[in-house]
Structure 1
Amino acid sequence: MNCADGPLSLPAYKPVLIVLHGEHSSPGRIGRLLRELGAPLDIRRPRFGDPLPETLADHAGAVFFGGPMSANDEDDWLKREIDWIAAPLKENKPYLGICLGAQLLARQLGQKVDVHPEGKVEVGYYPIHPTEHGHCLCDSPFPERVYQWHREGFDCPTGALLLAEGEDFQAQAIKVGERAFGLQFHPDVTYEMICRWTITSLDRVNHPSAQTRQRHIDGWFQHDRSIARWTVEFLRRWLGARELDDGVAPAE
């Protein structure tokens, strides 16, 4: 079902914990689709003093979104977020990290997060390539290009499955255990968010390896339909804990 086809009809879920890193950040398309899938949102901003629950027993899962900070920053609240991610991994509850949220997952697993050795960034629409494991993730194939907004990345952590890789930053989608996922790209982004980010963060858009604002806008109309279709299918499986049936052990 395309997200433009109307509300999705699935049974009600417990709330999904939504962790945002900006004072006025939005969960974007992910938040809207989760509501349509029957999951209320429990939105928290630990950076601004909101506590995280000790357990996910009262939640259907957790989504950690992106932010302007680095996963390597020394702020106490950020260190607490990295430590907290051990909870869904231990409890085998659904976790989804987007951009910074994926990098925090990598840090929890002991993987280094760093800038590109040549100083490149991904800001705009870039190609990704699913691995053999990624082809099994959803009935809808991975989109050929996805929206990116990051200057740091990571390689696939030990014990994780690499689902999709990029040309300049290796790990674009990973799976950890049965229910935890990290996406370096932004399936949450909306047209409004793209318009706002490309105006308020000119330092990112003007980086030599970033795409121009017009390419961001054009990319939305060229690629977002396939991204939206994949995101709906992914969230259905994520909430329902439908596992990859690949029979392949994680990388050692």
Structure 2
Amino acid sequence: MKPVLVLQHMVDDGPAYLGRWLQQQGLPADVRCHQAGQPFPATLHGYRAMAILGGPMSANDDMPHLRQAEQLVREGVASGIPVIGHCLGGQLMARALGGTVGPSIAPEIGWHDITLHDNATAQTWFGDVRAARVYRWHYEAFSVPAGALALAASPACVHQAFALGPHLALQFHVEQDLAKMKEWLAAAGDGYVRSLRLHPASVQAAQPMLAEAEQSLAAQQALASRIYHYWLASAA
């Protein structure tokens, strides 16, 4: 059985719920962590799909492994191998497909609502809902490349998701779990503290973020399961 390629940028940003979901489906995963010295593959040949995780760097940074990820996105789109991007991963997809990445209207950190657009593609990926509460940690955001379709928005971020056939870019972290959330909060630095002070409407404090996690994580992971099922449907 062909494995799913997972591109991981930082050691503290692993697949989390995505990894467990793949295991539950009996699907092998090849996780490559750049920070751990594991090079990204040169091609998607031999893989059934690719997922790209997040990271603290900008998608615009001059880092060879980011450009390699973008090349793999283009290969996936050209060959029909489904690609999904989470946060930085979604931004890399946008760049790879001709879009841009720049500062978000405001940083978004913690649990916040997104509004789903009223189109059939959004319903296919997210179900028959008009809003969802999802986890975010980002300072930049993507544009929607030509040929792709915008699926969701929020007050602080015009584009929360876009789709291009079986490929999906997300500005949020549907793969999040409690362990990774706690690890991020423990390592949060001055940037988070400053953002919390300047943008209280879109940046959540640690205590309410963790207090909400049990309820919102369960709902988000149910949504993630739906998204992941549809993402891999064309790769079956």
TM superposition score normalised by structure 2: 0.88
Report the secondary structure of 2:22's partner residue. helix
For the pair 1:130 / 2:116, whether they are aligned, the reply is: yes
The alpha-carbon deviation at position 47 of structure 1 amounts to 5.1
- Deviations 1:154-199 (CA, angstroms, capped at 9, x unpaired): 22221111111121111111111x2111111001111111111112
Write the distance in 1 (CA, Å) between the matches of 2:133 and 2:77. 29
Within 5 A, what are the aligned runs for 1:178-217?
178-206=165-193, 207=195, 208-209=198-199, 210-217=203-210
Separation (CA, whole Å) in 2 of partners of 1:18 and 1:43: 5
Q: Give the AA of the match of 1:82.
A: E
Correspondent of 2:69 among 81, 84, 87: 81
Q: Which residue of 1 aligns with 2:17?
A: 29
Mean CA deviation greater in 199-208 or 58-67:
199-208
Shift of 1:127: 1.0
For residues 53-202 of structure 1, the aligned pairs below 5 Å read: 53-117=41-105, 120-131=106-117, 132=119, 133-139=121-127, 141=129, 144-176=132-164, 178-202=165-189
Q: Is the 8 A contact 1:130 1:164 kept in 2?
A: yes
The aligned amino acid for 1:220 is A
| Corresponding position: 1:233 with 2:226 | yes
Unaligned residue ranges in structure 1 (runs of 5+): 1-12, 243-252
Q: Report the Cα distance in structure 2 between the residues aligned to 1:81 and 1:52, rounded to whole angstroms.
A: 7
Contact 1:86/1:108 (CA < 8 Å) preserved in 2? yes
Describe the SS at the equivalent of 1:83. helix
Secondary structure of 1:164's counterpart equals strand
Q: Output the CA distance in 2 between the equivalents of 1:215 and 1:185.
A: 18
Partner of 1:6: none
The Cα offsets for residues 105-150 of structure 1, whole Å up to 9 and x where unpaired, read as: 0011221101135xx2001111101112312324464762110000
Cα 1:14–1:142, aligned 2, differ >3 Å: closer, same or farther? farther
CA distance in 1, matches of 2:179, 2:67: 31
How many Å separate the matches in 1 of 2:154 and 2:32? 31
Tell me the secondary structure at the aligned position of residue 144 of structure 1.
Answer: strand
When you count strand as a share of all residues, which structure comes out higher? 2
In the comparison of the two structures, how many residue pairs are matched?
A: 227
In structure 2, stretches of 5+ residues that fail to align are none
Q: Is the 8 A contact 2:135 2:174 kept in 1?
A: yes
Q: Provide the rounded CA distance (Å) in 1 between the counterparts of 2:131 and 2:112.
A: 10
* Contact persistence 1:140–1:229 (CA under 8 A): no
> Kindly tell me: are residues 139 and 76 of structure 1, through their superposed partners in 2, closer, same or farther at Cα, counting changes over 3 Å?
closer
Residue aligned with 1:52, SS: coil
Which amino acid is the alignment partner of residue 166 of structure 1? S
What is the CA distance between 1:55 and its match in structure 2?
3.4
Alignment partners' CA distance in 1, 2:139 and 2:66:
18
Q: CA deviation at 1:56?
A: 2.5
Q: Determine helix, strand or coil for the equivalent of 2:215.
A: helix
- 2:2 aligned residue: 14
Q: CA deviation at 1:77?
A: 2.1
| TM-fit CA distance, 1:202 | 3.1
